[in-house]
Chain A
Amino acid sequence: EAGVAQSPRYKIIEKRQSVAFWCNPISGHATLYWYQQILGQGPKLLIQFQNNGVVDDSQLPKDRFSAERLKGVDSTLKIQPAKLEDSAVYLCASGQTGYGTQYFGPGTRLLVL
């Protein structure tokens, strides 16, 4: 069974630029999560989708971050414009349900200069 796929794996941009990340969850998983993990910290949930609907986006900085999962399968997370403090690993995870085990992708490492 293929795991969660993410791209790109690494991205370096300058502040005020835009960037987009892509995630393809495990086939059949209804729930998709985007996390931000700053070095030395645990993952922080940005947004949780159930199929193509948003379950929780309370910690998503909506003035600059947006995410969509239009067909209930893959998802994109966008940052526009980026700030220095956005430098982090962005992890995508999926699960069969919203309350079970989460399976993480390899992450995208973002560096904002």
Chain B
Amino acid sequence: GQNIDQPTEMTATEGAIVQINCTYQTSGFNGLFWYQQHAGEAPTFLSYNVLDGLEEKGRFSSFLSRSKGYSYLLLKELQMKDSASYLCAVRDDTGGFKTIFGAGTRLFVKA
């Protein structure tokens, strides 16, 4: 079966660093995406990992360990506008291309 777990909510302070974890179980793993979704808006692409290791893109970094079924999204120098839901999504190639989304982690950034 397929399963993606993320914390439901997190709170962090402006200027700080926050790490959002995602664990997954899937039989045909072939890549992991992170999307950002502000309240009432559509998800927007943040990052994609298919190999183990860290991918850095400005204030955002994403890490993947395929052997552990684990990823995290690291947000540095938090800004108020980073308050949003962060969706972990796994590409599963079992029976064709399919992207499965987690429920998302709601991040609240406080002053």
**Which residues of A are in contact with B by a Cβ distance under 8 Å?**
33, 35, 40-45, 48, 55-56, 91, 98-107
Contact of A91 among B31, B42, B98 (CB under 8 A): B42
Whose C-beta in chain A lies nearest to the C-beta of B98? A56
Distance (Å) between the CB of B19 and the closest chain A CB? 19
Contact of B48 among A33, A41, A98, A101 (CB under 8 A): A101
| Most B-side CB within 10 Å, residue of A33, A55, A104 | A104
Q: Are B42 and A106 within 8 A (Cβ)? A: yes
Q: Are B103 and A41 within 8 A (Cβ)? A: yes
Cβ contacts under 8 Å, A102 to chain B: 33, 45, 99
Q: How far is the CA of A55 from the CA of B48 in the complex (A)?
A: 22
Q: Are B96 and A56 within 8 A (Cβ)? A: yes
Distance (Å) between the CB of B47 and the closest chain A CB? 10
Q: Are A42 and B103 within 8 A (Cβ)? A: yes
Chain B: interface residue total (CB-CB under 8 A): 24
Whose C-beta in chain A lies nearest to the C-beta of B93? A99
CB-CB under 8 A for A98 and B97, given A104-B44, A105-B42, A106-B41: yes
Q: Are A43 and B101 within 8 A (Cβ)? A: yes
Contact of A55 among B33, B87, B96, B103 (CB under 8 A): B96
Q: How far is the CA of A45 from the CA of B87 in the complex (A)?
A: 14
Whose C-beta in chain A lies nearest to the C-beta of B31? A99
Cβ contacts under 8 Å, B30 to chain A: 99
Q: How far is the CA of A91 from the CA of B40 in the complex (A)?
A: 12
Whose C-beta in chain B lies nearest to the C-beta of A100? B48
Cβ contacts under 8 Å, B87 to chain A: 42-43
CB-CB under 8 A for A48 and B48, given A43-B43, A99-B30: no
Q: How far is the CA of A99 from the CA of B49 in the complex (A)?
A: 12
Q: How far is the CA of A40 from the CA of B39 in the complex (A)?
A: 10
| Most B-side CB within 10 Å, residue of A41, A44, A48, A100 | A100
Whose C-beta in chain B lies nearest to the C-beta of A41? B103
Q: How far is the CA of A33 from the CA of B97 in the complex (A)?
A: 12
